[in-house]
Amino acid sequence: MSTTAENIQQQISENPILIYMKGTPQLPQCGFSAQTVQALMACGERFAFVNVLDNPDIRAELPKIANWPTFPQLWVNGELVGGCDIVVEMYQNGELEPLVKDAAAKQQDDA
Residue span of the structural domain in which 31 resides: 4-101
Q: Is residue 47 part of a domain?
A: yes
In the predicted structure, residue 108 carries a pLDDT above the cut 90: no
Domain total of the chain: 1
pLDDT in tens, 59-106: 999 999 999 999 999 999 999 999 999 999 999 999 999 999 999 998
Q: Is residue 111 part of a domain?
A: no
Annotated ligand binding at 43? The verdict is no
Q: Is residue 34 part of a domain?
A: yes
Q: What is the pTM of this model?
A: 0.94
Annotated ligand binding at 22? The verdict is yes
Annotated ligand binding at 85? The verdict is yes
78 φψ region: left (φ > 0), alpha (ψ -120 to 50), beta (else): left
CATH number for the domain spanning 57: value is 3.40.30.10
Annotated ligand binding at 59? The verdict is yes
Q: What is the spatial distance between Cα 42 and Cα 81, in angstroms, rounded to a whole number? A: 17
Q: What is the spatial distance between Cα 72 and Cα 51, in angstroms, rounded to a whole number? A: 9
Q: Is residue 107 part of a domain?
A: no
Q: Is residue 14 part of a domain?
A: yes
